[in-house]
Amino acid sequence: MTDTVPENRADKNLDKFYRARITKRTDLAEDLWTVRIQVGGEFKFAPGQYATLGVDGPDKRSERAYSIVSSPYENELEFFFELVPQGELTPKLYKLQVGDELLMRKIPKGRFTLDTKGGRTNHLLVATVTGVAPFVSYVRSLYKDWKEGKFAGDHKLFLLEGASRSWELGYCEELQKFALEVPWLKYVPTISRPWDDLKWVGETGRVDDVLRKYADMWGLTAADSVAYLCGHPDMIEGGKGILKRIGFTKEVVKEEIYWIPAKEAAAT
Ligand SMILES: Cc1cc2nc3c(=O)[nH]c(=O)nc-3n(C[C@H](O)[C@H](O)[C@H](O)COP(=O)(O)OP(=O)(O)OC[C@H]3O[C@@H](n4cnc5c(N)ncnc54)[C@H](O)[C@@H]3O)c2cc1C
């Protein structure tokens, strides 16, 4: 065990937080890992929402938003993290191992949920690296509903997941398995640095570069589809431009930008 949350932080609204305990950690690459946590209290969320996680340092509490990977049906929460070496919180999260505690705000947030009410039944999901998290939550939830006869497969998901190399494609195996089994999910992982990954035989190119090709191939149009872009700010910018050119106005494009590039952050 490394860090735990100090017990005597009464001054810092601790009643707004759960002390969650890590029950599992899986390292995918040197800067990418997943954890499962036991929250220790009620936490009702919708697939696509995020939790606010925190760690107390000697003088300050650091908190950031993290999309929830797990479905609301699971009894633990799961997250997919990328280490930002110069960042404030991720180096602290990176030190945490099974048995360690972290803080989690008791209220989930976010509107990056699957739009099943707007009349469009195709959902084009586009992610970079950890940006796949909310989409895994959609798929796990729908899969359980499908198995229990609560979801008829009338909404179709088309998921494009991009990373530099294949080992950075979190949840690739799980998503491939789902896509083979159910008729309502298509899944294409793509890598942008195939020269670093010579065994890779799948799609290549940045996810926004292949977006147009797959939207056309799957016959997705703004009349029947909603697009969801999640993760890297440049992918979201590029993806929105491509979608706009094929008629996706902003009403049918949802986005979850994970960070603001440093130069823009400095200007605001
Ligand atoms: C709704 C939402 C959901 C999110 N979900 C996830 C998630 O599931 N998994 C996850 O890992 N992150 C997620 N993030 C990002 C997360 O909230 C933090 O911003 C990130 O973990 C970096 O935190 P930090 O304190 O280590 O770095 P900071 O101190 O916040 O940032 C330091 C610098 O690095 C830049 N930066 C931040 N993140 C990255 C990055 N990934 N790559 C390159 N530069 C970066 C910042 O712009 C800043 O200039 C999400 C963000 C939002 C808004």
Cα separation, 217 vs 130, whole angstroms:
25
* Nearest residue by C-alpha to atom 19 in ligand 1: 259
pTM (2 d.p.): 0.95
pLDDT digits (tens, 9 = 90+) for 193-214: 999 999 999 999 999 999 999 9
Beta carbons of 96 and 70 less than 8 angstroms apart: no
CA of 154 to the centre of ligand 1 (A): 34
Q: Give the list of residues 6+ apart from residue 40 with CB closer than 8 angstroms, or none.
A: 18, 19, 20, 21
Cα separation, 192 vs 111, whole angstroms:
29
Residue 91 burial (CB count, 10 A): 14
Mean pLDDT of the chain: 94
Ligand 1-lining residues (CB < 6 angstroms)? 50, 64-67, 79-82, 84, 86-90, 110, 130, 133, 256, 258-262, 265
Q: What is the dihedral of CA 226, 254, 235, 35, to 10 degrees?
A: -110
> Which domains does the chain show, CATH number per domain?
10-105 (2.40.30.10), 122-263 (3.40.50.80)
Beta carbons of 257 and 236 less than 8 angstroms apart: yes
CA of 260 to the centre of ligand 1 (A): 8
Return left, alpha or beta for 74; rule: phi > 0 is left, psi -120 to 50 is alpha, else beta.
Answer: beta
The pLDDT assigned to 264 comes to 65
CA of 202 to the centre of ligand 1 (A): 28
* Nearest residue by C-alpha to atom 4 in ligand 1: 66
pLDDT digits (tens, 9 = 90+) for 18-52: 999 999 999 999 999 999 999 989 999 999 999 99
CA of 259 to the centre of ligand 1 (A): 5
Q: Would you say residue 67 has pLDDT above 70? A: yes
